[in-house]
């Protein structure tokens, strides 16, 4: 019954095994099986939370999870569903695709990501440019927020240092108490330095997947070894 697709997908998302990568791969297998049979109205009702989770899987440092999520774009019917609703789906997955294309450690995941990027570019160049601009603005606002936060903390530190009691407690303060914040700010700044506009010509130089996915990579739950299913 196609009408059961929405409640089943919602249940899968509710119980998603975020801390167990092999089970995430199994869940992605189940998601693809359901999407192959889902009707367009049911897909529209569940696509936003579903692709928010898929975006998190795309960014996963576990290469099998990221690969399995990106392999969804090898399914023609799923791609057709995405194409019909690209104006809502692309903004959800854009950040994950950008992050992977720049910094994912696995070469196969990097190539698959770039193929998906090129697919979206060719599908709707105007929408892709809009998402790219919106993402850049979001990153700039985040940098401004971090800079404002750092300025406020510096003002608080200066006010504390001006207090007559400060010399008495100075020895008890940790000199590197703001190290974590400084590292986050530096990482965000580095990300903005790397940011530039994407063009189709640039995407072609990102790398290829080395060929279509193998049956071993695309095998479903029923084809997995008993030990993997038991996990």
Share of the chain above pLDDT 70, in %: 74
Res. 230: pLDDT tops 80 = no
Residue 186: which pLDDT band, with cuts at 50, 70 and 90?
low
Distances in whole angstroms, Cα of residue 16 to Cα of each of 54, 86, 99, 174: 11, 24, 22, 40
Same domain, yes or no, for 70 and 90?
yes
Verify that 29 and 119 share a domain, yes or no.
yes
- Can you give the pLDDT at residue 213? 55
Confidence category of residue 184, pLDDT binned at 50, 70, 90:
low
State yes or no: pLDDT of 140 exceeds 70.
yes
2 vs 20: CA distance, rounded Å: 29
User: What pLDDT score does 166 carry?
Assistant: 79
CA gap 103, 46 in Å, rounded: 30
* CATH number reported for the structural domain that contains residue 224 in this entry: 1.25.10.10
Which domain covers residue 119, as residue numbers? 2-123+199-230
User: Is the pLDDT at 107 greater than 90, yes or no?
Assistant: yes
Q: How do residues 23-47 score in pLDDT, each as one tens digit?
A: 999 999 999 999 999 999 999 999 9
110 and 59 both lie in a single domain? yes
Domain count for the chain: 2
Q: Are the CB atoms for 96 and 55 separated by under 8 Å? A: yes
Instruction: Find the range with the poorest average confidence among 11-15, 165-169, 203-207.
Output: 203-207
pLDDT at 138 exceeding the cut of 80: yes
């Amino acid at each position: 019954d196609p009408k059961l697709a929405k409640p089943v997908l919602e249940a899968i998302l509710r119980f998603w095994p975020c801390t167990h990568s092999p089970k995430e791969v199994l869940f992605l297998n189940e998601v693809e099986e359901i999407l192959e049979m889902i009707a367009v109205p049911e897909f529209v009702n569940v696509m936003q939370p579903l692709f928010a989770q898929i975006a998190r899987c795309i960014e996963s440092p576990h290469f099998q999870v990221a690969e399995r999520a990106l392999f969804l774009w090898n399914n023609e019917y799923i791609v057709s569903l995405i194409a019909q609703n690209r104006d809502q789906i692309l903004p959800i997955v854009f950040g994950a695709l950008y992050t992977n294309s720049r910094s994912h450690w696995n070469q196969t995941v990097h190539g698959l990501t770039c193929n998906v990027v090129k697919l979206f570019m060719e599908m709707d160049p105007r929408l892709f440019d809009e998402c790219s601009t919106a993402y850049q603005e979001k990153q700039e606002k985040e940098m401004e927020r971090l800079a404002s936060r750092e300025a406020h903390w510096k003002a608080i530190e200066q006010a504390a240092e001006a207090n007559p009691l400060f010399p008495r407690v100075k020895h008890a303060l940790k000199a590197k108490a703001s190290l974590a914040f400084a590292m986050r700010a530096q990482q965000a700044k580095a990300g903005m330095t790397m940011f530039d506009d994407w063009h189709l010509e640039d995407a072609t130089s990102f790398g290829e997947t080395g060929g279509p996915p193998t049956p071993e990579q695309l095998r479903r739950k029923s084809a997995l070894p008993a030990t993997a299913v038991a996990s």
